[in-house]
Amino acid sequence: MKWAALVAVALPMLALAQAQGDPDKGKAAFEQCAACHSLGEAGDYDGPTLKGIIGRTAGSLDDYRYSAAMKRSGVTWDAGTLDQYIADPQAFIPGNRMAFAGIGDKALRDDLIAYLAVAAR
Amino acid sequence: MPTRLKEVDVVIVGLGWTGGILAKELSEAGMRVVALERGGPRATNPDFAIPLIRDELKYAVRNALMQNPARDTLTFRHSPSERSLPMRQLGSFLPGEGLGGAGVHWNGVTWRWTGIDHALRSHYEHRYGKAFIPSDMPVQDWPMSYAELEPYYDKFERTAGVSGKAGNLRGTRQEGGNYFEQPRDREYPLPALESSYSQMLFKEAAAQAGYHPFPRPCANASRAYTNPDGARLGACVYCGHCERFGCEANAKGSPHITVIPKAMAQPSFELRTHSWVTKVMLDSSRKKAVGVSYTDVSTGQEYEQPAAIVALCAYAINNVHLMLLSGIGTPYDPVTQKGIVGKNYCYQPGGGGVTLFFEDKIFNPFMATGAFGMALDDFHASDQFDRTAMGAIGGATIAVGQSNGRPIGYRPVPAGTPRWGAEWKKATAKWYLRAMNIGVTASNMPNRYNAYDLDPTYKNVFGQPLLRLTYNFLENDRKVIAFVGQKAAEIARSMKPTSMTNPGALGDYNIVPYQSTHNTGGAIMGSSPKDSAVNRYLQSWDVPNVFVVGASAFPHNSAYNPTGPVGALAYWTADAIKTRFRNRPGLIT
């Protein structure tokens, strides 16, 4: 019964991609992304904007030139796929062009994804 | 017939680090600035995006980001008795071309030069007596002290996102930093990078021997960083593709991601690429520049760009070339030792290093950054090091870096291995992971015969005489390399490698193999027009509305990389233009 209640709470939270993370800590972690990614308009950034990232199909923005690997990945971005990607970008989507080694710390990834869920709407 | 354009306040020749800094500072101050860059535009995306940027053949072997010697090069000879010949392929050094200049493909080592460097002649005369400096070695003090330049070094470090550890904060020694460095007002903007295994082993051995190892300061960001102008840098991923490449992660402090975009955001700034400046135009008095002539190399159209101020911010070699082609200042003559432009060309002797091979150690050399390293300044910045034992002026740093482990270029094998064939293949496979290098980089003192002038025979694509370089290593250099090379070898032996190479003796300078892109002098700075081409604000003594910014101003070369003071001096000059020259044009006194 207890377990069922937990699932009932946890699933919608995951769906909202707020997970267990702390968006305030995630904001600091986002500096690692900010060299290339905007949370707003595409602007003068080397990577695609993250605005609306949650729920977006990977490689789907019309005004960004993605790698073939990203375009054919078939990934939809949610808390789970973002977590796997940020943990080890080349392992999750081999051949993608993001120049980032990944974040090994699960708690920090949760924070970052929680921040994205709030800030990259 | 050249098209005459509308006059601007400042025309900048070359848009790398120095041009970018001036462009940003002066356009933000409301001056109308035009930058003329003879190469093309470049941006991290798409130009440096992976995987294409990892093309070692294109970028590291065929030098895709550098000056094309088929269009413009220099001629070379070892001494005035030799006939000079054009350098038809890049080799010993790699001048940049294109937006961002060499600031795009540098490694990122960012020193503040030593107190000795800033007051070279005074220091040696005071400490060792006047007779210690040979009469054919025209060393001189910088026209500004380290303390005067300190805020500008700091400013550049913050712009470029330099990772390091202070050794001296306002006079108090700091554990873990450079014991011999000059006082800094504050820490580096970023902590030092992680060390490689080879660097850790070297650090331990050097400390055991009583030396003072410290992490070399570098503009490879140890973590994500936003600089004071709001430019965002990513964290270094230790990919080993710095030098000769642009950074895919925006983790290398480079002008195209820092100062240049800030200038571009100013309505009073305009960039024109593919614009090759052939001459600074002077008025009939030849004491005032009225602008520059340039050719759009994509159309062949010639232009005249009038300007109140001309800032030469090309590569150090090309700054001197433009001065000679334009008749700014008196060309230097090594026979009579009269004149000044072209004088005190210096380079940077290496070659005293050793490679160590360990059967039982794995170094993973592919995990690398252009600039990270463990260094010793005990034979360079240290005044405790008595130069009488070495019998020479200057010194050398000893360092373990690991700039790359790339498949074409990085093939360490023990001495005696065949140069090709099955044995070579076996050795290169075996030792790739098991080798490390201890490098020795020496300062270089000027000599009366090491200089530039215009070549009497060879011309560039515009029919202009090529710059001629006369240069060789000399006795002073051989002594420094031999002395410090032995010290490096002693440390290496204490690390008990399976085998190691012997430190080579320094022979004649060879312009073919890559050594460093650390070409200095030719338009040197000083306190009097008698011994310098530019004053302490890098302003031409002869044509005061021409500023010549970059390593061309160094009166000698340190054992350090040049970009730290190059950046600092660019900020220093920009300040002098904004706050002094602008209100009262003429020689700044």
Contact status, residue B9 vs residue B291, Cβ threshold 8 Å: no
Q: Mind listing the pLDDT tens digit for each residue in A33-66?
A: 998 999 988 777 899 999 999 999 999 999 899 9
- Write down the pLDDT at residue B70: 92
Which two three-digit tokens encode residue A86?
Answer: 């940020």
B50 and A100 within 8 Å at the Cβ level: the answer is no
| Nearest residue on chain A to B250, alpha-carbon basis | A35
Contact status, residue B441 vs residue B397, Cβ threshold 8 Å: yes
Contact status, residue B41 vs residue B273, Cβ threshold 8 Å: yes
| Nearest residue on chain A to B222, alpha-carbon basis | A32
A46 and B232 within 8 Å at the Cβ level: the answer is no
Strand segments, DSSP code E, in B373-419 are 373-376, 396-401
Smallest CA–CA distance, residue A46 to chain B, in Å, is 5
Euclidean distance between CA atoms B270 and B193, whole angstroms: 37
Q: Mind listing the pLDDT tens digit for each residue in A58-103?
A: 999 998 999 999 999 999 999 999 999 999 999 999 999 998 989 9
Smallest CA–CA distance, residue B20 to chain A, in Å, is 18
Nearest to residue B129, comparing CAs of B140, B138, B121, B137? B121
User: Which one of B51, B249, B261 has the shortest CB-CB distance to A44?
Assistant: B261
Contact status, residue B212 vs residue B395, Cβ threshold 8 Å: no
Smallest CA–CA distance, residue B305 to chain A, in Å, is 29
Contact status, residue B220 vs residue B239, Cβ threshold 8 Å: no
B43 and A46 within 8 Å at the Cβ level: the answer is yes
Euclidean distance between CA atoms B97 and B66, whole angstroms: 5
Does the CB of A36 have a partner CB in chain B at under 8 Å? Answer: yes
Residues in B closer than 8 angstroms to A35, CB to CB, are 224, 232-234, 249-251
State the Rg of chain B over Cα: 23
Does the CB of B367 have a partner CB in chain A at under 8 Å? Answer: no
Smallest CA–CA distance, residue A20 to chain B, in Å, is 24
Contact status, residue B507 vs residue B472, Cβ threshold 8 Å: no
A99 and B249 within 8 Å at the Cβ level: the answer is yes
- Nearest-10 crossing angle of helices B17-28, B563-576: 30
Residue of B105, B380, B518, B556 marked catalytic: B518
Q: Cα B423 from chain centroid?
A: 38
- Write down the pLDDT at residue A10: 44
User: Which one of B51, B232, B261 has the shortest CB-CB distance to A35?
Assistant: B232
- Write down the pLDDT at residue B589: 86
- Which of A37, A39, A46, A50 best tests the B interface by mutation, with the highest count of B CBs <10 A? A46
Residues in B closer than 8 angstroms to A33, CB to CB, are 224
Tell me, yes or no, if B518 is annotated catalytic.
yes
Q: Cα B245 from chain centroid?
A: 16
Interacting residues of B73 by C-beta distance below 8 A, sequence separation 6+: B67, B86, B87, B88, B460, B466
Does the CB of B52 have a partner CB in chain A at under 8 Å? Answer: no
- Which of B47, B223, B232 best tests the A interface by mutation, with the highest count of A CBs <10 A? B232
B46 and A65 within 8 Å at the Cβ level: the answer is yes
Smallest CA–CA distance, residue B275 to chain A, in Å, is 24
A7 pLDDT band, cuts 50/70/90, is very low
Does A12 have pLDDT greater than 80? Answer: no
Count of CB pairs separated by less than 8 Å, A with B: 51
User: Which one of A31, A46, A95 has the shortest CB-CB distance to B250?
Assistant: A46
Does the CB of B230 have a partner CB in chain A at under 8 Å? Answer: no
Which residues are registered as beta bridge partners of B168? B173
- Write down the pLDDT at residue B92: 97
Q: Mind listing the pLDDT tens digit for each residue in B373-395?
A: 999 999 999 999 999 999 999 99
A97 and B44 within 8 Å at the Cβ level: the answer is no
Which two three-digit tokens encode residue B371?
Answer: 């600039």
A32 and B237 within 8 Å at the Cβ level: the answer is no
Smallest CA–CA distance, residue A41 to chain B, in Å, is 16
- Write down the pLDDT at residue A9: 45
Q: Is the dihedral of CA A3, A8, A12, A13 positive or negative?
A: negative
| Nearest residue on chain A to B237, alpha-carbon basis | A101
Burial bucket for residue B327 (CB in 10 Å: 0-12, 13-18, 19+): middle
Residues in B closer than 8 angstroms to A39, CB to CB, are none
Residues in A closer than 8 angstroms to B251, CB to CB, are 35
User: β-strand B74-77 against B465-470: which pairing, if any?
Assistant: parallel
Does the CB of A69 have a partner CB in chain B at under 8 Å? Answer: no
Does the CB of B402 have a partner CB in chain A at under 8 Å? Answer: no
Interacting residues of B272 by C-beta distance below 8 A, sequence separation 6+: B34, B35, B36, B37, B296
Does the CB of A27 have a partner CB in chain B at under 8 Å? Answer: no
Q: What is the pLDDT along chain B (589 residues), one digit of tens a residue?
A: 899 999 999 999 999 999 999 999 999 999 999 999 999 999 999 899 988 999 999 999 999 999 999 999 999 999 999 999 999 999 999 999 999 999 999 999 999 999 999 999 999 999 999 999 999 999 999 999 999 999 999 999 999 999 999 999 999 999 999 999 999 999 999 999 999 999 999 999 999 999 999 999 999 999 999 999 999 999 999 999 999 999 999 999 999 999 999 999 999 999 999 999 999 999 999 999 999 999 999 999 999 999 999 999 999 999 999 999 999 999 999 999 999 999 999 999 988 899 999 999 999 999 999 999 999 999 999 999 999 999 999 999 999 999 999 999 999 999 999 999 999 999 999 999 999 999 999 999 999 999 999 999 999 999 999 999 999 999 999 999 999 999 999 999 999 999 999 988 999 999 999 999 999 999 999 999 999 999 999 999 999 999 999 999 999 999 999 999 999 999 999 999 999 999 999 999 8
Q: Look up residue B491 and give its amino acid.
A: I
| Nearest residue on chain B to A102, alpha-carbon basis | B237
A19 pLDDT band, cuts 50/70/90, is low
Task: Give the global pTM.
Answer: 0.95
Does the CB of B54 have a partner CB in chain A at under 8 Å? Answer: no
- Judged by DSSP in three states, A89 sits in helix
Does the CB of A2 have a partner CB in chain B at under 8 Å? Answer: no
Nearest to residue B557, comparing CAs of B452, B485, B481, B477? B477
- Using CA atoms, how far residue B468 sits from B72, B186, B197, B277, B525, in Å, is 12, 43, 43, 19, 21
Q: Mind listing the pLDDT tens digit for each residue in B456-470?
A: 999 999 999 999 999
Helical (H) or strand (E) element with B270 = strand B269-272
Which two three-digit tokens encode residue B356?
Answer: 């160590």
- Write down the pLDDT at residue A121: 87
| Nearest residue on chain A to B262, alpha-carbon basis | A44
